[in-house]
Structure 1
């Protein structure tokens, strides 16, 4: 069967899935893997699901307790051996998409925000910013309502560097000179 796109059969689709998962920096959910696989117009959802299930069954991929997919050593070996059979243009698109996905996942790991209720009805918002060396900023703040907590989380997740810079600006600002008063 000839169809549009470069991926023409299930074997090529399995190789594409292995190619993608071999380049990911961490386990990913089904939906993300499906999105990354859509780099070719010939990909069919049901065929993708069937191939993914078969790759798990044959132990090329594993699914963890959180339903995240990870490539196995067997999958890595087979991907490495067969990657050159995938069309170059498909590999280039995959590499670009996977690189962006890895960046996004890294940022999500480095920037975290959550909130929890307190006994008095207020909420504690926890904001954390890390890098490769460890914690950069860890801040717990009390807010009055859950809506405020959600707003603080949203703003922090959108621009964590801004909060970090403002906190440093306040902490590193020169002390104001005391004004002497004469009696």
Structure 2
């Protein structure tokens, strides 16, 4: 037996629309699913069926990106959310808002990081790791490595630890050599 308050297809559809209204940017279906599947009253197949019905009815707009599709709430969907405002239980709305904030934070973080590589003529690789704040490049590191595996390791470790790498690099670069020397003398 399933738990949760959202069980009927119409409720699932409204929850999907409500969750999309919380997201200030286009999102993948996986991101939307992460925000929406918070109640435990429905599963993947119910979500996908309702999602596609909303897409076909024009309540959700689809955008073709380079290698994937992203979605946003259409004007028609926004009207439904406004009309049905308050229909969801407060506990469901709170969980949806918490999930939306988590997804927004992850998307913004991922959008602020760039990690890519290109192969050089001599067979080595050039890896670029960068941190952006909106369109402003805050830090960029270029590293030469010798194989594809090293490229992948650098890129993944950078994505997993970008904040620590950025703070550590700044700390090292901004360290006062005179203060460091006097600290070593007092030891």
Quickly name the TM-score band, shorter chain normalised.
Answer: 0.7 to 0.9
Question: For the Cα contact (< 8 Å) 2:28–2:69, is it kept in 1?
Answer: yes
- Number of equivalenced pairs: 175
Alignment of 1:42-61 (within 5 A): 42-61=41-60
TM-score, with normalisation over the residues of structure 2? Answer: 0.83
1:88 aligns with 2:90: yes
Q: 2:112 aligns with which of 110, 113, 116?
A: 110
Residues 38-72 of structure 1, C-alpha deviations (whole Å, 9 max, x = no match)? 21121133322221111111111122222222111
Per mean C-alpha deviation after superposition, the further-off stretch among 107-116 and 30-39 is 30-39
2:2 and 2:40 in contact (8 A); partners too: no
**Superposed displacement of residue 138, structure 1:** 1.9
| Whole-Å separation in 2 of the counterparts to 1:44 and 1:174 | 56
- Identify the match of residue 68 of structure 1 among 64, 70, 81: 70
- What is aligned with 2:183? none
Give the CA deviation at 1:124: 1.1
TM-score (norm 1): 0.85
8 Å CA contact retained: 2:34, 2:99: no
Unaligned runs of 5+ in 2: 179-187
Larger gyration radius, structure 1 or structure 2: 1
Where does structure 1 differ by over 6 angstroms across 4 or more consecutive aligned residues?
A: none
Deviation sequence 1:71-103 (CA, Å, 0-9, x none) = 112212221221310111111111111110100
